[in-house]
Structure 1
């Protein structure tokens, strides 16, 4: 995805949003040419990808006559994350870490986790569960990302609060919502 704010972490690859949007449009156009006219774009990179996905979906619906839905885990889980006691959306924080602990426990080394609590930023808090989220998101500067990388290896949030049980509930909730989206599309 589009990851300029993660370039301080070795191995990061970032792709310009306009390239991602055009490539995704071409994929949708190909699927429509093969008779598929109901598409779900599943976002795997949180809020940073939402805008280009929305632009692509709107273009595809307007030009190709298809239906495109976007499934974003941060937005599709906002009704349950507070109930589960999760803190704010960040990067490798307790939500993502709990999810990974439930799905791929062998890949999680919680003993290496370093908390980097998220500070509330009025009007620019990037968290769908935050009542005053304005969705005025611009990826952080390289200086900010470098400071997070030096402090916590790139984490923003509190992975030490993660646990597999809440991760499973979170995962099951996302799957349930994705099934609902599929069922809604089937009836359209």
Structure 2
């Protein structure tokens, strides 16, 4: 009886230590995963010249967390470490396939594919429409596009955004700015023509 009681007290102590960990301890894995994903998005943007807006990034991060939990729940044999390791690749594959106007895979199916090496990819519609700003003349690439108050580096004219109404301003040197409101939809066309 004394051994049982002593073991119960030790187990209770361990459980309390785990349950009383500061929130930052549990959050650090999510934070580092999200930072790795954001780095992957930035590298993809630098390579393709397509900017993924902050609102699209935030929504994508939320969608990744949901997909990751769903895959982990449905596939207990896939460790959280495996899912964390492939998360940036999953997001880049998701963006790349949708940018090429190919039927893209859902985030959960991409997680499964990358974590297990299976070739199963199920088609789904992208949730991040492309918005193209057609600048005339296109060169020099000294124009700056601002979408919903966020300015992007000079010369960027293709963006991944969330659906909805976007307030856009394009400026170039001392020329009058091009201002417009564009309703962005999944099916598009999502574009704005500006002569500067």
Q: Give the structure-1-normalised TM-score.
A: 0.27
Larger RCO (CA under 8 A, 6+ residues apart):
1
TM-score with structure 2 length normalisation?
A: 0.26
Greater C-alpha radius of gyration: 2
User: More strand per residue: 1 or 2?
Assistant: 2
